[in-house]
Structure 1
Amino acid sequence: MRIVVRTSRLAIWSRRLGSFSVVLLLLSIILHFSGQIAPDVFEISIGLASVFAALALLLAVLAFTVLWQTGDKGWGLALSGFIASSFALIPAGTAFALYLSYPSTLDVSTDIGNPPALALAHPDRPEHAVDPEALANRFPNLVSRSYQLPVEVMHNLVEALARNNGWTVLRNRAPTETGMIGTLNARRETLWGWSSEIAIRVAANPMGANVSIRAASLRDMWHDLGDNGRSLENALLALDDAVTLYVRDGLAILDDDDEEELPEALPEDHEAL
């Protein structure tokens, strides 16, 4: 009696769908970074690639089970489908992990009661509401700053911060003698095509200057995976470092001036009176 050994159709379709999902994913990324497709089209393409990859992964698991029981051919096909689908699911898996780890920060500010004014974004949307407790737990460094530096100096450091981060400045108002408040509004673009507006307010206080910062997404989204919150927290930490360097350099200049003003030593053969 001749035993017919067949190739598992589950394994065949697992490799086909897995390969298609990888091609769709890579093509979407290439077209996105070359500016050929809009961000929303890119997100739809990534979503479709993830759906095909999930189906391919399921078929691979089923193929492994069937092959173990029947002894048919297709282990290599099922394995290739499993590997390809796992690779194509990396973006979706990363997004899901960020969704579980971070609250939505579609409109977030260090000053909830009086946030800096926006120039482009539409504030106060109900779907943009952020839980203050969740925000404080996940972003402990996302708080307004108070520095013992003149408000003009702090505004210059804020301008440098915007340039160093590659933000597009939309509006920049330096503090004046009559109104010791400076504001800066900038547009921030993420690697994946998300856009948000950054608003920074620098206000004078008796000891120096207060800095408040805000970020609001420019697109209608249901969740930003904590992107705005991470961006603001990193910006504030970078501003802390900039202030530290400014103060250190200033102290170094003062030390050099003091050394130059020291009197010269008396000659060794100077006779006492």
Structure 2
Amino acid sequence: MALIVVVLHRISMLSLPNAVAVILLAAFLACITLGLAVIGFFMLWQIGAKGGHASFSGLVMALLVLGPVSVAASRHITLPTLHDVTTDVDDPPNWLEPPPFSSSWLPRSDADDPAARQAQREAYPQITGRRYEGAIDRVLLAVNAAANEAKWDLVANVGADALVDGLEEIPEPEADAEAPAPTGEADPARAPVPVPRPDTDSAWFEPLPTYALLQYRTETLILGIPQDVLVRLSEEEETTFVDLRAATRDGNHDLGLNAELINGFLRDLDVRLLGIAGG
């Protein structure tokens, strides 16, 4: 039952709240199976009753379900009740497109509640932004590379397009198959036409933005739990500050998934921008 539910949720045929409900039912049945297996082993030891193989099979099947459920339960108890984590607790970046939410039997609280932000500050003191000694366009290229490697899907962005323009390598022009072979003689029809040189001294160039927001969508590898990620880049003089925000869409507890996502992405970004990372 648990395996079928995981597969159905992974292929988006079953919503997460319904999947959690069925997995809890499977865990309840696994607890009964574990108790019956223990009774079977006790009777086998005491009076030599048959059923040792059945008890062992029931024990293995029960542990396959109760193992992951126990890990999730321990995280639910030891970690704070958060579904939204950010590197800037005082001024979290605002979503470009609010993540969709469907009401269900799972409770849901306000992510910007001061009590929740204080709980995050106490539970994840290591979740802080990064300051890099570099221009915002260079940091943006590293962010795009890290997001592409993590297979994040870009949902929306503000200011990123203007920074990316002109940064990619220009592809080599394709050869014209119909062009005649060179003969060594000048062709008047193909002679260059002189044009006036642009007046760059009096021309006005729009300055590059010093602020960018990128919103992504991703999901966990095994269970396929959807997560929304927001990356904020702000340039201050010769440094660029990077903040992240990650949130799960269902329930009131992320079981630490958002904090792990932020930590992993920032570690990857530090490696890509090695030598210019600061506090």
TM over 0.5: yes
Query: Which gives a bigger RCO, structure 1 or 2 (Cα 8 Å, sep 6+)?
Result: 2
Decide which of 21, 43, 46 is 2:23's aligned counterpart: 46
Greater shift after overlay, 75-84 or 202-211? 75-84
* 1:206 matched residue in structure 2: 237
Decide which of 23, 38, 42 is 1:65's aligned counterpart: 42
Decide which of 242, 252, 267 is 1:237's aligned counterpart: 267
Structure 1 position 224 matched with structure 2 position 254:
yes
Summarize the Cα distance change of 1:199–1:216 in structure 2 as closer, same or farther, 3 Å threshold.
same
Q: Do 1:105 and 1:228's aligned partners in 2 also have CA atoms closer than 8 Å?
A: no
Decide which of 15, 24, 33 is 1:56's aligned counterpart: 33
Query: How many pairs align?
Result: 223
Deviation digits for residues 39-96 of structure 1, max 9, x if unmatched? Answer: 3333233222211111100111123334434443222322222222112222212212
Pairwise CA distance, 1:112: 1.1
* 1:149 matched residue in structure 2: 134
Structure 1 position 120 matched with structure 2 position 104:
no
Cα RMSD (Å) of the superposition? Answer: 2.9
Summarize the Cα distance change of 1:92–1:30 in structure 2 as closer, same or farther, 3 Å threshold.
same
Pairwise CA distance, 1:33: 3.4
SS at match of 1:244: coil
Deviation digits for residues 182-204 of structure 1, max 9, x if unmatched? Answer: 11011122231322221111111
Q: Do 1:105 and 1:229's aligned partners in 2 also have CA atoms closer than 8 Å?
A: no
Q: 1:105-116, aligned counterparts within 5 Å?
A: 105-116=82-93
Q: What letter matches 1:244 in structure 2?
A: L
Q: What letter matches 1:116 in structure 2?
A: P
Q: Distance in 1 between matches of 2:13 and 2:259?
A: 29
Pairwise CA distance, 1:143: 0.5
Summarize the Cα distance change of 1:197–1:90 in structure 2 as closer, same or farther, 3 Å threshold.
same
Q: Do 1:105 and 1:128's aligned partners in 2 also have CA atoms closer than 8 Å?
A: no
Greater fraction helix: 1
Q: 1:1-273, aligned counterparts within 5 Å?
A: 24-118=1-95, 119-121=97-99, 125-126=109-110, 129=113, 135-136=120-121, 138-174=123-159, 177=207, 179-191=209-221, 192-219=223-250, 221-244=251-274
Pairwise CA distance, 1:171: 1.0
Q: Distance in 1 between matches of 2:268 and 2:77?
A: 26
Q: What letter matches 1:78 in structure 2?
A: S
Unmatched segments (≥5 aa) in structure 1? 1-23, 248-273
Greater shift after overlay, 36-45 or 205-214? 36-45
Q: Distance in 1 between matches of 2:91 and 2:112?
A: 16
Unmatched segments (≥5 aa) in structure 2? 102-107, 163-206
Tell me the TM-score normalized by structure 2.
Answer: 0.69
Q: Distance in 2 between matches of 1:128 and 1:136?
A: 13
Q: Do 1:144 and 1:211's aligned partners in 2 also have CA atoms closer than 8 Å?
A: yes
Pairwise CA distance, 1:215: 1.1
Q: Do 1:155 and 1:174's aligned partners in 2 also have CA atoms closer than 8 Å?
A: no
SS at match of 2:254: coil
Pairwise CA distance, 1:167: 1.2
Q: What letter matches 1:230 in structure 2?
A: E
Summarize the Cα distance change of 1:142–1:178 in structure 2 as closer, same or farther, 3 Å threshold.
same
Q: What letter matches 2:214 in structure 1?
A: L
Tell me the TM-score normalized by structure 1.
Answer: 0.71
Q: Do 1:106 and 1:216's aligned partners in 2 also have CA atoms closer than 8 Å?
A: yes
